[in-house]
Structure 1
């Protein structure tokens, strides 16, 4: 079962930009991803690595999860990135371009077992190994997958607009594989920072598909993601009604009960409890 921890908005920031990282400590995002990969030029990789380590050690991110995205192990910077990131002990380390179970095993072999790993699903090869990747992820302590829609679209040579029709199959299959193995999964980024309407449509699409949240490239996108991936108030109220009904003495041992005229199965009880847990966590974070 995926975590009830809110991960509605995961903001990428170049770890070489100390000013942006400092501002992130006060943003409303659920996750801060300090990026050593795509957002950092080759001649700034060492500076970014040092900045990420310093930020992780300084802490001060409050309830936000802090994740460091390293460069791939097949690059000149990957080994040093992973060693430095795990030593800094963020909440997780994000591994890019995971295409096979061997990629997950290689990362885990170099990272302490108590450091959660996240994996980028962003290659065509990964799409044909999703079941194996899911099993390997669960075995290796990978807590979440992140869709890399830009890299995937680049490999596919397809158009990438707000509706993302060419990626529909990849998004759905990735989500199903993640759910089959109890993983959190975050949607890819929306590139047009100025297009608030397109962002809102894509956030709504991702939420409707079932993603837990969305990765972002600019602080101005945080509010839209938080709104789209927060549980609907009516849905939370109904979930509380379902839990109360199943907790009643007359419902003990029953697989199906009638709640306010609707037939509700026990499988809906787990969904209701998770929805409530997410809503309560968001409320606690907002109050804090």
Structure 2
């Protein structure tokens, strides 16, 4: 079966499986910036699969279908695909649909663990609204981080895809329509911003919630994204937000009742 794959790093396990099991990958589409799709890019380079970064138009996709492509697999891809007459079109979504529709479910799942899971559903013009083909829940433990939840999704998604591909026609035909749903909106940058006047416990919770996505720091009146931070409660005499220590690799800032260590390699300036 000839497949076109659309996706980024979180579900790269699925592309790796498709290649290993001998499915014919006609081409792969990724989003930019490159760091969100580095694992996909490396797989394509290794196996000489054509890689595209443009947003595909309907004419482009219909041409691929006319050349024999039978399936579109979408997995953590940010563009909405135009409707086509491809035989099979599925999306892999990191929640237990119909709960948790939306572009960034993972941070919300720490608050609503009952919605944590992976869903394969038919791709339609309703975002995340297609008939549910297969699902698998992904349990979340107390004080877990978005990063560990992401890795669990990475593992479970490929297991679900294997099941689907073992009997595509049967699973596709027996998909069930979604009913009432909940929606998780795109995370606003202000929700990821650290307030040094808040408790260390609150800051730690926010770091767990946004992990590999990053929290936002305001330093010297500029906004920075930070992905690697450590915290500890500790009594001190510094005002909240004061730089306590800095060297080439580390920046340490006081919170209201502790310290926050920011590893500089994980910092990136927000335009």
Higher share in helix = 1
Higher share in strand = 2
In the superposition, the TM-score normalised over structure 2's length comes to 0.28
State the structure with bigger RCO (CA 8 A, min sep 6), 1 or 2: 1
Which structure's CA Rg is the greater one? Answer: 2
